[in-house]
């Protein structure tokens, strides 16, 4: 929350997956829910930066508990997964499960604060970053300085595209970058 309103956005929430047992839990999502409720916030957006191969999204879980709209730019990767994994015919591959499909440079607001979307393909073909106020949420486009950029071997991933698209963007203002996997906690 940055503005004087109690509006909030959550970006890339995850379910807890225990690899050895193959079980899912919601402790991380429940911590977010408790924080939003405890701070008296109103969840406007649950934003996905890309289709995640390393974890499962908690967006539907948060939406059931707190409301808000799920937004993403994920389109092509869902089609790839449907074909590659031989998913059922009723698997919706066009992004329709999301409440809103963002386009590159699309503007929106969080609590009246200006925000916009930047397509940052490379990690996946559908990766996006969100600028909200003066912060730029880059998902897995960039990692912490000791790790560099994201891996690019996911569906539609391309290191050259990642480099060109990320380094050729010309931001008009200074942004605080908030990379994923940075160890941030609620």
The domain 7-179: what is its CATH number?
3.60.15.10
Q: Provide the residue-wise pLDDT of the chain in tens; the chain has 186 residues.
A: 455 779 999 998 988 888 888 888 999 999 999 999 999 999 999 998 877 665 678 999 999 999 999 987 776 666 766 777 777 777 776 666 678 888 888 999 999 899 999 888 766 667 788 888 888 887 766 655 555 566 667 667 777 776 666 655 545 444 445 545 444 433
How distant, in Å, are the alpha carbons of 12, 62, 98 from that of 30? Answer: 14, 8, 21
Tell me which residue has tokens 């730019």.
73
Residue 123 near residue 147 (C-beta atoms within 8 A):
no
| Domain boundaries, given as residue ranges, for the chain | 7-179
Alpha-carbon torsion angle 51, 53, 59, 60, nearest 10: 100
Spatial separation of the C-alpha atoms in residues 77 and 140, rounded to whole Å: 15
- Report the chain's terminal Cα–Cα distance, integer Å: 12
**Best CA proximity match to 161, nearest among 135, 136, 127:** 127
């Amino acid at each position: 929350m940055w503005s004087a309103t109690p509006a909030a956005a959550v970006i890339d929430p995850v379910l807890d997956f225990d690899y050895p047992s193959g079980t899912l839990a919601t402790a991380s999502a429940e911590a977010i829910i408790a924080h939003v409720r405890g701070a008296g916030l109103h969840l406007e957006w649950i934003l996905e930066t890309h289709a995640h191969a390393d974890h499962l999204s908690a967006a539907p879980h948060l939406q059931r508990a707190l409301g808000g709209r799920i937004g993403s730019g994920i389109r092509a990767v869902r089609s790839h997964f449907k074909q590659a994994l031989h998913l059922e015919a009723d698997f919706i591959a066009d992004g329709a499960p999301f409440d809103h499909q963002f386009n590159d440079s699309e503007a929106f607001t969080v609590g009246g604060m200006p925000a916009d979307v930047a397509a940052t393909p490379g990690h996946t073909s559908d990766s996006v970053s969100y600028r909200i106020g003066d912060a730029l949420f880059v998902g897995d486009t960039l990692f912490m300085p000791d790790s560099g950029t994201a891996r690019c071997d996911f569906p539609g991933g391309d290191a050259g595209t990642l480099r060109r698209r990320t380094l050729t963007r010309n931001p008009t203002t200074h942004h605080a970058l908030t990379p994923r996997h940075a160890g941030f906690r609620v």
